[in-house]
Amino acid sequence: MLANWFPNVVPIWPQFVQATWETLYMTFWSALIAGVLGLGTGIFLVVTQPGGINADPPFYNFLDKLVNLLRSVPFIILLAVMAPITKYIVGTTVGTPAALVPLIVGIFPFYARQVQNALLSIEPSVIEAAQAMGSSTGEIIYRIYLRECLPDIIRVSIVTIISLLGLTTMAGAIGSGGLGDIAISVGYARFENDVTIAALLVILVMVFIVQIIGDWIAKKVERF
């Protein structure tokens, strides 16, 4: 059955499976590292903004402009611009590990802004009440911002991971490996459309799984 629908996929099946694992590898590690950086950056943006619980306008302006700058660079250009830095950190600009650097730099500003918007949904009166009760900055961040906004943070995390999956395929244009690489170097370059379609279907399945699991977790969290 598979040979009838995807005749060019069967001969390269081991390569296709390897590409799938490479995509999962890039997505997992990029999401993990960018998630930590983005969450921290988003919290700093909320806390240090004018009127924030630990307002620092100069620092906020710098961080805000940096996030805007990184978000405005098209990812395909970022791949080229980051090449010297990637080579310095990883030792090469080709391959799956090399793709992690631009993927992290490309996705964490997006996530930081999403986290910032989620945290800003907290009513200022709630923060003022916590301050009046003597809560410290750390207590307000953990007990109010993070706990109250956890469902929203999970939802924006889903959006970020799905966007990250798209970026991993784009990284295939520079030989990073993964499904994007096999779709371009084999499916597109050799006019084997079934390979491209198969790669697309696998990516869509990943997106659906991420969406389903994320929605389930968000609903579970809301009940507590």
Q: What is the pLDDT of residues 110-154, one digit of tens each?
A: 999 999 999 998 888 888 888 888 888 888 898 889 888 999 999
Is pLDDT above 90 for 170? Answer: no
Per-residue pLDDT at 2: 66
Distance CA 205, CA 200 (A): 9
Distance CA 158, CA 28 (A): 13
Number of other CB atoms surrounding residue 102 within 10 Å: 26
Q: Which of 183, 187, 185 is nearest to 165 (CA)?
A: 183
Distance CA 56, CA 88 (A): 33
Per-residue pLDDT at 1: 60
Cα–Cα distances in angstroms (integers) from residue 53 to residues 41, 63, 86, 129, in the given order: 15, 17, 37, 12
Per-residue pLDDT at 59: 95
**Residue 91: CA count within 13 A, CB half-sphere:** 1
The answer to whether the beta carbons of residues 106 and 167 sit under 8 Å apart is yes
Mean pLDDT score, 18-26: 93
Distance CA 39, CA 160 (A): 12
Per-residue pLDDT at 185: 83
Contacts of 218 (CB under 8 A, 6+ apart): 151, 154, 155, 158
The answer to whether the beta carbons of residues 137 and 46 sit under 8 Å apart is no
Per-residue pLDDT at 96: 86
Q: Map out the domains of the chain with their CATH numbers.
A: 12-222 (1.10.3720.10)
Q: Which of 20, 42, 30, 38 is nearest to 164 (CA)?
A: 30
* Amino acid (1-letter code) at residue 148: E
Mean pLDDT score, 23-28: 94
Mean pLDDT score, 193-219: 92
Mean pLDDT score, 78-107: 87
208-224 confidence digits (pLDDT tens): 999 999 999 988 887 66
The number of residues making up the chain comes to 224
The answer to whether the beta carbons of residues 167 and 75 sit under 8 Å apart is yes
Is pLDDT above 90 for 176? Answer: no
